[in-house]
Amino acid sequence: MEIAIIGASGYTGGELMRLLLNHPSAEVVAATSRKLDGTPVASVHPHLRGLTDLAFRNIGAGDIDADFVFLAVPHTAAMKVAGTLVERGIRTVDLSADYRLSKEIYEKTYGVTHEAYFEAPYGLTELHRDEVRGASFVANPGCFPTGATLAAAPLAHLAHTIIYDSKTGVTGAGNTPSATTHYPNVGDNFSAYKWTSHRHLAEMKQEAARLGSTARCYFTPHLLPVNRGILTTAHILLNEPMESKEVETLYRKFYEREFFVRYQKPTLAAVRGTNFCDVAVESEGDRVVAVSTIDNLVKGASGQAIQNMNLMCGFAEGAGLCFAGMSP
What is the per-residue pLDDT across 123-138, written as a single tens digit (0 to 9) for each? 999 999 999 999 999 9
The answer to whether residue 217 is catalytic is no
46 burial (CB, 10 Å; 0-12 / 13-18 / 19+) is exposed
Judged against a pLDDT cut of 80, whether residue 281 lies above it is answered with yes
Nearest to residue 65, comparing CAs of 82, 90, 46? 90
Long-range contacts of 114-119 (CB under 8 A, 24+ apart): 114/79, 115/79, 115/80, 116/79, 116/80, 116/82, 116/83, 117/79, 118/82, 118/83, 118/86
**Architecture of the CATH domain 144-296:** 2-Layer Sandwich (3.30)
| DSSP summary character for residue 271 | H
Phi then psi for 198, rounded to 5 degrees? -70, 135
Q: In the predicted model, what is the mean pLDDT of the chain?
A: 95
Mean pLDDT of 255-277: 97
Mean pLDDT of 132-158: 98
Judged against a pLDDT cut of 70, whether residue 169 lies above it is answered with yes
Question: Quick one: residue 52, left, alpha or beta (phi over 0 = left, psi -120 to 50 = alpha)?
Answer: beta
In this prediction, what percent of the chain has a pLDDT beyond 90? 91
For residues 125 and 316, give the distance between their C-alpha atoms in angstroms, rounded to a whole number: 13
Judged against a pLDDT cut of 90, whether residue 234 lies above it is answered with yes
Question: Quick one: residue 86, left, alpha or beta (phi over 0 = left, psi -120 to 50 = alpha)?
Answer: alpha
Question: What pLDDT score was predicted for residue 184?
Answer: 81
**Architecture of the CATH domain 2-120:** 3-Layer(aba) Sandwich (3.40)
Judged against a pLDDT cut of 70, whether residue 71 lies above it is answered with yes
Judged against a pLDDT cut of 70, whether residue 39 lies above it is answered with yes
What is the per-residue pLDDT across 296-326, written as a single tens digit (0 to 9) for each? 999 999 999 999 999 999 999 999 999 998 8
Question: What pLDDT score was predicted for residue 273?
Answer: 96
In this prediction, what percent of the chain has a pLDDT beyond 70? 98
Judged against a pLDDT cut of 80, whether residue 174 lies above it is answered with no
Domain locations along the chain: 2-120, 144-296
Catalytic residue (choose from 143, 217, 277, 313): 143
Judged against a pLDDT cut of 90, whether residue 142 lies above it is answered with yes
Question: What pLDDT score was predicted for residue 175?
Answer: 65
Paired with 139 in beta bridges are 94, 122
Confidence class for position 227, pLDDT limits 50, 70, 90: confident
What is the per-residue pLDDT across 74-119, written as a single tens digit (0 to 9) for each? 999 999 999 999 999 999 999 999 999 999 999 999 999 999 999 9
21 burial (CB, 10 Å; 0-12 / 13-18 / 19+) is middle
Task: Report the Cα 82 to chain-centroid distance in Å.
Answer: 19
